[in-house]
Structure 1
Amino acid sequence: MTADKHLQSWQERFEMAEAMQPLLGKLYRNQGVEVVLYGKPLLNASTIEIIKSHRLVRRHVGDKLRLRESFPFVEALSKLAVKQCKVDIGKLAINYWREHSDASQVEAYMSQALASAIDHDDNQQARDVVLYGFGRIGRLLARLLIERTGVSNKLCLRAIVLRGGRKGDLEKRASLLRRDSVHGPFNGSVEVDEENNAIIANGTYIQVIYANSPDEIDYTKYGINDALVVDNTGIWKDEAGLGLHLKSNGATKVLLTAPAKGAIKNIVYGVNENDILDEDTIVSAASCTTNAITPVLKAVNDKYGIVNGHVETIHSYTNDQNLIDNYHSADRRGRSAPLNMVITETGAAKAVSKALPVLEGKLTGNAIRVPTPNVSMAIISLNLNGETNKQDMNEYLRNVALCSELQNQVDFTESTEIVSSDLVGSRYAGVVDSQATIAEGNRTILYVWYDNEFGYSCQVVGVMQKMLGLHYQSLPVA
């Protein structure tokens, strides 16, 4: 009898999650509403992923959230004229059920909580995006942009620019989009149009352009205008080099997916994106490590004040290293990446001050490249102005992750079993490992995981939206 009860409960949850999926899809495609559950995206989530995301709620807030309790909120949301926003139905549902015993007032509650997004006058125009380069970050950005395809989508991937163009190149590029050894298969279909040099992914027509220099392309020939060019090659990092993109017809703004040199603004989304002005034509999204540590450092500094500190990055190996021992211009990086831990330098700690000037001169940093293909960790050792302990520090950072302006950047885990591969695909800039936190008096050591590929790419998308003047409300307000 007990076994039958558990199976019946599972089937009920499974059916409820299945019923949610078409509503979630229509909300995004038709209204531009992205539904999350305590920060976990439900857009394109599988049935099992929806069930698992509900189970995590109890870990966050102590209260259980059943699918039958959240489903009325998805249903009510689908009936409201809400547009262009991110809605956390987990937070809405938990708040509601703490004060109500039935679902009779859900629609009225939702109407009030989401009033600012109902009948929102959406005058934001769709904008063209070009990916210059199609390596690790370029392909993940493509995945992120394609998953948002729909009539309400404002970031339109129009083209990819590559060097080369040899026979068979197009099919190989498409194959790398279809399959990824770290992030798994592409969620959908990818076709190749050899005649027109294009890739069609989930109905998105992506022109493939071959060029040897940024300034030799006329994007308007392909119907691309006023475009944001996202340079993920890492070849050009200063204003002179990146400025070559702006000499191309149809390109008006450039975003670099690496730390920039000179006076170019280094932006960590969630921290200093408001530094981007309409007249800024070249912006950097900083590095994956800078994105991972800056939101956490901001949170800690806001509450305790940081006197000084050191950041040690345990970083997965990258394309810049060698598979086997061979010549490399940098110290130690010529040694085999899959076989060695390699001490190297990082500018991430110093770069924090470009996004968070209050920490200028307060941080040092170093890095160790390790034999894993993805997911890294930052060990942040800090001397504080105020005193704390492990419990207080963790409680504060849990609240930062759940209900602050940094909730989309900072995640928090209490798992005693989590390892790096568990964080592949994390959409957060950084994930605080609370079990490893050390805090006593005015000293603390924090361990922050980050998917240095996918999590960083999510941050880049945020900077893209800001550069193009695209704004999405997050509701309920933290």
Structure 2
Amino acid sequence: MTVNEDVFTNWKTREEIAESMIPIIGRLHRERDVTVLLHSRSLVNKSVVSILKTHRFARQIDGEELSVTETLPFLQALTVLDLGPSQIDIGMLAATYKTDARGLSVEEFTAEAVIGATGANKLDRREPRDVVLYGFGRIGRLIARLLIEKAGSGNGLRLRAIVVRNSGSEDLVRRASLLRRDSIHGQFQGTITVDEANNKIIANGSEIKVIYSDDPTSVDYTAYGINDAILIDNTGRWRDREGLSKHLRPGIAKVVLTAPGKGDVPNIVHGVNHDMIKPDEQILSCASCTTNAIVPPLKAMADEYGVLRGHVETVHSFTNDQNLLDNYHSSDRRGRSAALNMVITETGAASAVAKALPDLKAKITGSSIRVPVPDVSIAILNLQLERETTREEVLDYLRNVSLTSPLKRQIDFISAPDAVSSDFIGSRHASIVDAGATKVEGDNAILYLWYDNEFGYSCQVIRVVQHVSGVEYPTYPAPAV
């Protein structure tokens, strides 16, 4: 057998193993509400090639490729356990098993690592929590996709309705079409049909009522069978407590804003301060995409090195708030063509840090430049640290944070030397540390943080909603603190 034939045979063998993993992952998800992860990346509803690529990606953060031959035994071990609702990271199981010197079998080690999700310890499967989307723009449609995707097990969050203005006779069909096809994020993964007689969009079996209203105070959600729901406001029209309180109508229990909140509205960055949400809090904000991108790595650096001061410069993709061609705009510069110019503008991300990290005394300043790309931005975080360090130390630390810390769902890490912005479209992390661009000299560290300002941010919103709804299940093995 030639070398090329040997490599190809190895690939076909791994394909066969990955193919055998798919039905196991599907059954665990549907029947037990268990989400199988690999280094914080969900393997649910993934193709053979996607599963293999996710395993291969482990070399970017762990130094070497992870093989399906290593993870399959742990996946098989899960099938014989009395598992309850949870998220289980088979990548972490495989990695921690390598360093365990007790001589346990894979089955024994797995049972011990996930004991909090088995037998008498397991959680009850919770009833689905109703969700309403107020507004159906860029973020609203991506959140809808995520909610529909997570409805596969029949539990968790359930998208019941979308509230929009009626734009005419073709409104329902056009909105369904925008959900079905996206120029940046691609085709919807599944089927979408329209029930015009009942004003419904049916996506992968989920019936979503489309409610037409120009005024949140005019809607009685209980009339549509919606109760105790979480409403996600994607319009940004109201940002303070008084305005957002208009949504607290019959059927709505909590309101989550997908923009920075004003006044006393809590600004939440999941992974950093979501535990501070009071159980009786009815109104909260998920801050901005840039705030979500910089706060987790800023917290990580502050925890390890201390931060005296910092500046964040965001090079941000253009948004619908800008004009396609030069035209009147209420803000300076944003009236100039977004597709043809770099546009200097303001960012509230730096000032929002104080709300998410109240214990951080360092002064953080910020500014932003909008550039002619439709998605994925980069934040350049320039920090003066409390102690001197080296580039190697910082990179090793952030790599480990992305792998094993409580921030591993927020912070990703990449060492590819040729990575560019489009490579991060669809990233589910709040930000991705670019190892090759990182600069450290003495007590000065400059981090380059990529982020999908649409999809990554939408994932952070979903995490907050899951937390406040009580359907956020624990992850095993537990992250290192």
TM-score using structure 2 length: 0.96
Corresponding residue for residue 365 of structure 2: 364
In structure 1, give the amino acid aligned to 2:212: Y
Corresponding residue for residue 213 of structure 2: 211
Corresponding residue for residue 168 of structure 1: 170
Following the alignment from structure 2 to structure 1, what is the Cα–Cα distance between the partners of residues 235 and 65?
45
Corresponding residue for residue 36 of structure 1: 37
Following the alignment from structure 2 to structure 1, what is the Cα–Cα distance between the partners of residues 204 and 364?
44
Corresponding residue for residue 109 of structure 1: 109
Corresponding residue for residue 304 of structure 1: 305
- CA 58–65 in structure 1, closer or farther in 2 if over 3 Å, else same: same
Question: Mean Cα displacement is larger for which, 116-125 or 153-162?
Answer: 116-125
Corresponding residue for residue 467 of structure 2: 466
Following the alignment from structure 2 to structure 1, what is the Cα–Cα distance between the partners of residues 75 and 102?
18
Corresponding residue for residue 435 of structure 1: 436
Note if contact 1:165-1:210 (Cα within 8 Å) is conserved in structure 2.
no
CA RMSD for the aligned pairs? 1.6
Following the alignment from structure 2 to structure 1, what is the Cα–Cα distance between the partners of residues 12 and 297?
40
Following the alignment from structure 2 to structure 1, what is the Cα–Cα distance between the partners of residues 290 and 64?
33
Following the alignment from structure 1 to structure 2, what is the Cα–Cα distance between the partners of residues 399 and 194?
51
Q: Secondary structure at the match of 1:380?
A: strand
Corresponding residue for residue 292 of structure 1: 293
Note if contact 1:131-1:232 (Cα within 8 Å) is conserved in structure 2.
yes
Deviation of 1:72 (Å) = 1.6
Following the alignment from structure 1 to structure 2, what is the Cα–Cα distance between the partners of residues 333 and 198?
36
Note if contact 1:316-1:370 (Cα within 8 Å) is conserved in structure 2.
yes
In structure 2, give the amino acid aligned to 1:193: D
Aligned pair partner of 1:231 in 233, 254, 275: 233
Following the alignment from structure 2 to structure 1, what is the Cα–Cα distance between the partners of residues 160 and 323?
33
Deviation of 1:161 (Å) = 0.6
Query: Which aligned pairs between 1:47-446 and structure 2 lie closer than 5 A?
Result: 47-98=48-99, 105-119=105-119, 120-122=122-124, 124-246=126-248, 248-360=249-361, 362-446=363-447
- CA 195–279 in structure 1, closer or farther in 2 if over 3 Å, else same: same
Following the alignment from structure 1 to structure 2, what is the Cα–Cα distance between the partners of residues 123 and 153?
7
Deviation of 1:123 (Å) = 5.6
Structure 2 unaligned regions, length at least 5: none
Deviation of 1:55 (Å) = 1.3
| Cα shift readout 1:188-220 (whole Å, capped 9, x = no counterpart) | 001111111001101111111100111111111
Question: Mean Cα displacement is larger for which, 16-25 or 312-321?
Answer: 16-25
Identity %: 54
Deviation of 1:67 (Å) = 1.2
Report the count of equivalent residues.
476
- CA 276–121 in structure 1, closer or farther in 2 if over 3 Å, else same: same
TM-score using structure 1 length: 0.97
Deviation of 1:29 (Å) = 1.7
Deviation of 1:451 (Å) = 0.4
In structure 1, give the amino acid aligned to 2:222: T
Deviation of 1:261 (Å) = 0.8
Q: Secondary structure at the match of 1:374?
A: coil
Structure 1 unaligned regions, length at least 5: none
